Amino acid sequence: MSDRAPVTSPSDPVDDARTGRPDRNLALELVRATEAAAIRAVPYIGKGDKIAVDGAAVDAMRAFLSTVSFDGVVVIGEGEKDDAPMLFNGEHVGNGQGPACDVAVDPVDGTSMAAAGRQNALSVIAVADRGAMLDASSVFYMDKLVTGPEGRGVVDIRKPVGENIRALAAALDKRPEEIVVAILDRPRHEELVRQIREAGAGTRLLLDGDVAGGINAARGGTRIDMCVGIGGSPEGVTTACAVKALGGFMQGVLAPKDDAERERGLAAGLTMDHVYEVDDLVAGEHSFFVATGVTDGGLLDGVRHIDGIIRTESIVLRSASGTVRRIVAEHQASKWL
């Protein structure tokens, strides 16, 4: 009898069971946590209190994660920038049984948008093998470039954005005037927006939440072809989990705010002025990205409460199999009182 390991497909459960990697069924457990966070955030939408939005979502997500069969450590936490409630870096989540995982969480990506009643707020969890995620927490900002697979070998974050727009347009068999670039609407991006429009492309200005912008750039069939600009480095690592599953292209360069933050990053082992490719941000092929819509947006519908039913829409991405699943769930509202 041969002692060679059997050949398995990416979706074969024996692959996960024998290696101790995140099991494909883990995604269905994780989506319960993002659904709970999204549902609990709803009473605070449009009330102007982003701390209340985040606090309700954090409490719900933490409670549901405690029931999940995995040994998770939060590598990418949330809330530190503005002293909000948080699932903190280094926190252990899960019941301690099952695969050892790195975890990135953002109970509400876009708390300001949710608090203002605006679109595109999401509840997000990403999971990968232990040690797979880049811990970029010591440098808060990252300059990012995301496209679909057509951008691989075509665009480069070190090139001027106009050159990248023209190259991607050619790869997509489009005119530069047909390209749409997503970018956070921030004063720091005024010059970059000018260059994008000078190249003939259109912009999709994001009030917040560049995770959704990056995902839409990496997916086929959306109106966004590219996502660029400086956003949170935690969101960059989280986005990379989704981009891997979508087969997209992504690069990131850390953007420290000052010399002190630069030194902290260097002390933490990060490399400044270095282009991090998607596999540097999240290594390996065993990662998940799960998100549930909090408010309506281009990626997902938000939570809806109709006739005693709470409706949620979620997306589940798995890099090992390259699958994209949408999950629409109906919850009895009486169970959430």
User: What residues are designated binding site for Mn(2+)?
Assistant: 54, 78, 106, 109, 235
Q: Is 232 exposed, middle or buried (0-12, 13-18, 19+ CB in 10 A)?
A: buried
Residue with tokens 């301690």, as numbered in its chain? 96
Binding residues: 54, 78, 106, 109-111, 141, 186-188, 208-210, 232, 235
Binding residues for substrate: 109-111, 141, 186-188, 208-210, 232
Pull the structure tokens for residue 54. Answer: 């985040």
Return d(Cα 211, Cα 199) in angstroms, integer: 24
Do 282 and 254 contact (CB within 8 A), yes or no?
A: no
Separation in Å, CA 103 to CA 38, 65, 80, 293, 306: 18, 11, 16, 19, 33
User: 73 has which bridge partners?
Assistant: 92, 102
Do 213 and 204 contact (CB within 8 A), yes or no?
A: yes
Return d(Cα 298, Cα 291) in angstroms, integer: 13
Do 274 and 158 contact (CB within 8 A), yes or no?
A: no
| Dihedral sign from CA coordinates of 297, 183, 287, 138 | negative
Q: How many CA atoms lie within 13 A of 134 on its CB side?
A: 29
Residue 246: which H helix or E strand, with range? helix 233-246
Closest by CA to 270, choosing from 256, 258, 257, 284, is: 256
In 90-244 the beta strands, taken as DSSP E runs, fall at 92-93, 100-109, 122-129, 141-147, 180-184, 202-206, 226-232
Residue 75: which H helix or E strand, with range? strand 71-76
